[in-house]
Homo-oligomer: A and B are copies of this chain.
Amino acid sequence: MSGDDDVPLILTWDDGNSGLLGEDDPDQADGNGVGNYDNINNVSIPGPSDSRAQSSLRHSWEMNYQEAAIYLQEGENNDKFYTHPRSALALSAYLFVHNHLFYLMELLTGVLLMILSLAEAPAVPSLRLDVYVHATLELFALVMVAFELCMKLRWLGFHTFIRHKRTMVKTCVLFIQFTEAIVVLVRQTSHLRVTRALRPIFLVDCRYCGAVRRNLRQIFQSLPSFIDILLLLLFFMIIFAILGFCLFSTNPADPYFNTLENSIVSLFVLLTTANFPDVMMPAYARNRCSCVFFIVYLSIELYFIMNLLLAVVFDTFNGVEKVKFKSLLLHKRSAMRHAFQLLVSRQRPDGVSLKQFDGLLRFYRPRMSARDRFLTFKALNQSGTTMLSLEDFYKIYEVMGLKWRARRSGEYWFDDLPHTAFLIFKGINLVVKSKAFQYVMYIVVAVNGVWILVETNMLNSGFSWSRFVPWSYIVFLTIYGVEVLLKITGLGPVAYFSSGWNLFDFSVTVFAFLGLIALAFDMEPFYFIVVLRPLQLLRLFKIKQRYRNVLDTMFELFPRMASLGLTLIIFYYSFAIVGMEFFADVIYPNCCNTSTVADSYRQVNVTIGNRTVLEEGYYYLNNFNNILNSFVTLFELTVVNNWYITMEGVTSQTSHWSRLYFMTFYIVTMVVMTIIVAFILDAFVFRMNYSRKNRESLDDPEDEKGIVMEAEVLQDEALQTLDLYRHTLAGTNLSSLQEMCVTMERNRHSSLVFLGRRSRTKSDLSMKMYQEEIQEWYKEYSRTNLPLPEGLHRDLDAPVPHRDTPVPHTCPSQTIN
């Protein structure tokens, strides 16, 4: 039975063209409660000669494959099911919106809108554009956004669209920006455009910035408890401000507490320690006991309540991480369940055959070769039958990312070479893999490190580029070069480059070589490469297990860290725009002579005793004159030290209310930074717990390489599959499958084992960590949902997406997302 005549259990996006699937026969429902799907019974045994029915049936299957693929995609991206396309029209919009070209367009539009502020007044000098140029660019980008929104409206339908909060906010912001851009174009000059601070919304909303959206959500989730503790902090601040005012305002030499406002500002800054011990000094000089006030204040506020803030955020974080993992997992599970239902046929409702599975993958992973689709099926099919059960199918996300390769019969890449060459390479391989070689290299690196240190230390007269090609540089570079060559030849290029550490070695060595060339040919702009040499020393950290763990975790965390960094940059951007609108060009040398921080802005000849020196306070450089300067200034504010100098400088040139901007920024960065700390803490504690729990498996070198799966393919099977594919998919590219068959033929193997590999993700770790709890969740999940496969028919009572069943698709897992 080839399954050619199987009829899908559920039909989707039925556009009414297929006469066979008309709903003109409701009386034929056989009373088992399956409802309007029963008419499928009528068409389940079409004659093979009935080519119209055949093609219509194929069309239905294709539609089902597509919808199943969409479900899997939704599960993967954590898209809610209520945005699932419900009609053929919505489907075409959905397909238009969900592809990388469109995503890229979204991203570019968002980035373009943001980088426009480089060119808008106050612009970076070298990038300044005329008003009509940048306003036109902006209008163009906004039109693109409007187009994207229209496509989304078409896909989601009007009702879902206006219920989707993020999209509505985006629409409003778009409207405002549009109006403003036109006003700018008409007036030919920029007005006070604070609303530009909202531009990051366009970037955040785009598909590729999902991680940023998650971070923002996490920040908002932590906010309520954060604000509670913040109030406690501010409350103590105000109590101490009153006390401080009462105690120290009688001292005329104390400018920090002379009014209540100054008192509050001083203690706010003291919270960040930025004005300590200066703020204490006048009072301390007068009465030594006054240090008690400051010590108590700092102990309560800085060392207790600030840590409390971290504890609260960490706790929220900790709880949320698990809940999020759970909801994601269950969302994926129900996505897989939906997809499974769409792939089974009326004849065999509890299994997915290779043909259907292949159909799914053609939509879900269009770039996957026929061979890999077949291997994925084999990997899932643990039971060895011809069908995938629901339990098998539940593993689909785990096998999806695997890269398949035939297991090499030999151990080394040079197995097929002639004997002499083999022996040479074998020797190199042994050398390269030996402990001794490794330790020799460590010693070389260490010696190199000491050498660099000593050499640099001897350059007391200052570093000069031109005479800096010492022989040691060449010697060590040669050693590293030889090492890289040996390793590549010994291990084979593929094995060599599959290790992150080797890649690191390689790139550092290549950079050093490029630096040497730059020096030799006097290419000045590339000199900086030379200074990267000391990075070689990082290799020393491979020696100890703990460092390997730390660095591995660092690499694992990198994507998440990057998204947190991006989130921070988005906050920066908004604050930078506001700062530029209000504080551009208020700071210049000698600007703030009336303020308490005048020294830091002074650029003047000063006479001390009988000497005259040029004293330069560089702080006028920390300004908001253009967006790049603003970013640097904001970074300095983030680091917190001496931030009050910038604040007081700007305040002295504008009004007292400017402090609000700086204080708000401090609190916002405090939130984000606390989240970052909590995130790092959580990730590392998780990782350490994990490695404690799975000590043996982490030490296992096989496990370090990531997730590995096996699939054995028999020759008969392969030929059969090739046949099947030729039959069903005439015209598509089957070369990968053919090649596999040819390989088996040539090597006279009756079977071939394939290995699928992928790197381990956080989700894999979590799966292992919460193993027992996951079983609980699944049990709970299947208790609230109807059991499958026995319950499949009963499950059909629940409305499913179908043009003809307009009842919204009430998926039980919807609420947990």
A282 — which chain B residues lie within 8 A by C-beta? 618
- Shortest CB–CB separation between residue A573 and chain B, in angstroms? 16
Contact B245 A456 (CB under 8 A): yes
A258 — which chain B residues lie within 8 A by C-beta? 462
Contact A246 B531 (CB under 8 A): yes
User: Is there a chain B Cβ closer than 8 Å to A541's Cβ?
Assistant: yes
Contact A318 B639 (CB under 8 A): no
Contact A277 B315 (CB under 8 A): no
Contact A463 B250 (CB under 8 A): yes
The answer for the CA separation of A291 and B621 in the assembled complex, in Å, is: 12
The answer for the CA separation of A726 and B423 in the assembled complex, in Å, is: 99
A606 touches which of B246, B528, B541, B606 (Cβ 8 Å):
B606
Contact A677 B310 (CB under 8 A): yes
- Contact mask A510-536 → B, CB, 8 Å, 1/0? 000000000000000000101110110
The answer for the CA separation of A538 and B636 in the assembled complex, in Å, is: 35
| Contact status of A680 and B453, CB under 8 A, knowing A228-B544, A618-B278 | no
- Contact mask A286-305 → B, CB, 8 Å, 1/0? 00100100010010001110
- Shortest CB–CB separation between residue A147 and chain B, in angstroms? 37
Contact A314 B250 (CB under 8 A): no
A308 touches which of B225, B250, B684 (Cβ 8 Å):
B684
A115 — which chain B residues lie within 8 A by C-beta? none
- Shortest CB–CB separation between residue A315 and chain B, in angstroms? 5
- Shortest CB–CB separation between residue A318 and chain B, in angstroms? 7
The answer for the CA separation of A811 and B641 in the assembled complex, in Å, is: 56
Chain B CB count within 10 A is highest, among A239, A537, A642, A685, for A239
Closest B residue, CB atoms, query A273: B641
A684 — which chain B residues lie within 8 A by C-beta? 308, 311-312, 315
The answer for the CA separation of A269 and B285 in the assembled complex, in Å, is: 26
A394 — which chain B residues lie within 8 A by C-beta? none
The answer for the CA separation of A724 and B462 in the assembled complex, in Å, is: 94
Contact B239 A621 (CB under 8 A): no
User: Is there a chain B Cβ closer than 8 Å to A307's Cβ?
Assistant: yes
Interface residues of A in 194-248 (CB under 8 A from B): 225, 228-229, 232, 235, 238-239, 242-243, 245-247
The answer for the CA separation of A456 and B238 in the assembled complex, in Å, is: 11
- Shortest CB–CB separation between residue A297 and chain B, in angstroms? 11
- Contact mask A453-480 → B, CB, 8 Å, 1/0? 1001101101110000000000000000
When all copies of this chain in the complex are counted, the total is 2
Contact B284 A621 (CB under 8 A): yes
Closest B residue, CB atoms, query A243: B531
A641 touches which of B277, B561, B599 (Cβ 8 Å):
B277
- Shortest CB–CB separation between residue A366 and chain B, in angstroms? 39
The answer for the CA separation of A710 and B436 in the assembled complex, in Å, is: 72
A171 — which chain B residues lie within 8 A by C-beta? none
A681 — which chain B residues lie within 8 A by C-beta? 307, 310-311, 314, 681
The answer for the CA separation of A641 and B275 in the assembled complex, in Å, is: 7
Contact B303 A464 (CB under 8 A): no
Contact B641 A531 (CB under 8 A): no
A534 — which chain B residues lie within 8 A by C-beta? 238-239, 242-243
The answer for the CA separation of A680 and B306 in the assembled complex, in Å, is: 10
| Contact status of A307 and B677, CB under 8 A, knowing A249-B462, A276-B639, A641-B274 | yes
A680 touches which of B239, B250, B304, B599 (Cβ 8 Å):
B304
Interface residues of A in 337-368 (CB under 8 A from B): none
A616 — which chain B residues lie within 8 A by C-beta? 253
| Interface hit among A131-139, A162-170, A546-554 | A546-554
Contact A618 B311 (CB under 8 A): no
- Shortest CB–CB separation between residue A686 and chain B, in angstroms? 10
Interface residues of A in 577-620 (CB under 8 A from B): 599, 602, 604, 606-609, 616, 618-619
User: Is there a chain B Cβ closer than 8 Å to A708's Cβ?
Assistant: no
The answer for the CA separation of A250 and B527 in the assembled complex, in Å, is: 14
Contact A537 B235 (CB under 8 A): yes
Contact B680 A308 (CB under 8 A): yes
11 cross-chain CB contacts under 8 A: A228-B546, A246-B463, A246-B531, A250-B463, A288-B628, A307-B676, A307-B677, A311-B684, A315-B685, A606-B607, A681-B681
